[in-house]
Amino acid sequence: AQSVAQPEDQVNVAEGNPLTVKCTYSVSGNPYLFWYVQYPNRGLQFLLKYITGDNLVKGSYGFEAEFNKSQTSFHLKKPSALVSDSALYFCAVRDMIRGGADGLTFGKGTHLIIQP
Amino acid sequence: ETGVTQSPTHLIKTRGQQVTLRCSSQSGHNTVSWYQQALGQGPQFIFQYYREEENGRGNFPPRFSGLQFPNYSSELNVNALELDDSALYLCASSVVVVGGEETQYFGPGTRLLVL
């Protein structure tokens, strides 16, 4: 079975400071990892994904994520936070061996609040 | 915007009724997945359709069923609605590639309230 943990319900960061949203995962094989963002009353918007290759993945709006296989983590980062980054962030995983038939498994989400 | 559309945006039903939710996939996408997002939770996988066949299912009972049409639009049907079915229902479309590394693009969702 595959699972995702987002240990923080909420992260507060001052505008202009770096931000990190944490994610750890568990899969039987190798993971495909994703980050999505959800704004109020909207669907999920794709930010970035890790498939293979470089452990540092760059995505939309200046976000990046670092894959760490030994720590089974995929933390989302941004060097300088904007107020407009305030939203609900979801980490998701899919087992590479199982393919798409199991769908994505999501964490519970982390509210990111950027204070002016 | 992703190009994935869903209808209706909101819906109110009573317990025991049946509901049909609709999704139009992004152009060129041949796979559709449905998710249920309860309040304060992450989305949970219901099922996936590829080439009009269900090819994967999460931990949902048979009263949750679906269809995918030749134009890759899709329906989610829920029979015998229960109060716990109240949630945001998300549709996601993708293109299947070798290795299953496709990215799923989500629609805005349909918010269902069961009274």
| Closest to B1 (Cα-Cα) out of A36, A63, A45 | A45
What is the nearest CA distance from A79 to chain B, expressed in angstroms? 25
Sign of the Cα torsion A27, A32, A38, A41 reads negative
3-class SS of residue B80: coil
Cβ separation A100–B44 shorter than 8 A: no
Tell me which of A28 and B101 has the higher pLDDT: A28
Return the residue of B nearest to A100 by Cα: B100
- Local structure of residue B2 (DSSP, 8 states): -
Per-residue pLDDT of chain A (116 residues; tens, 9 = 90+): 789 999 999 999 999 999 999 999 998 888 899 999 999 878 899 999 998 888 999 999 999 999 999 999 999 999 999 999 999 999 999 876 665 567 899 999 999 999 99
Q: A100 to chain B: which residues are within 8 Å by CB?
A: 31, 33, 48, 50, 55-56, 94, 96, 100, 102
The C-alpha atoms of residue B102 and residue A38 are separated, in whole angstroms, by: 20
Q: If you search the block for the tokens 């949203």, which residue do you land on? A: A21
The per-residue pLDDT for range B50-77, each reduced to its tens digit, is: 889 998 899 999 999 999 998 889 999 9
User: Any idea which residue has 């982390």 for tokens?
Assistant: A110
Q: How far is B26 from chain A (nearest CA, A)?
A: 14
Nearest chain B alpha carbon to A50:
B101
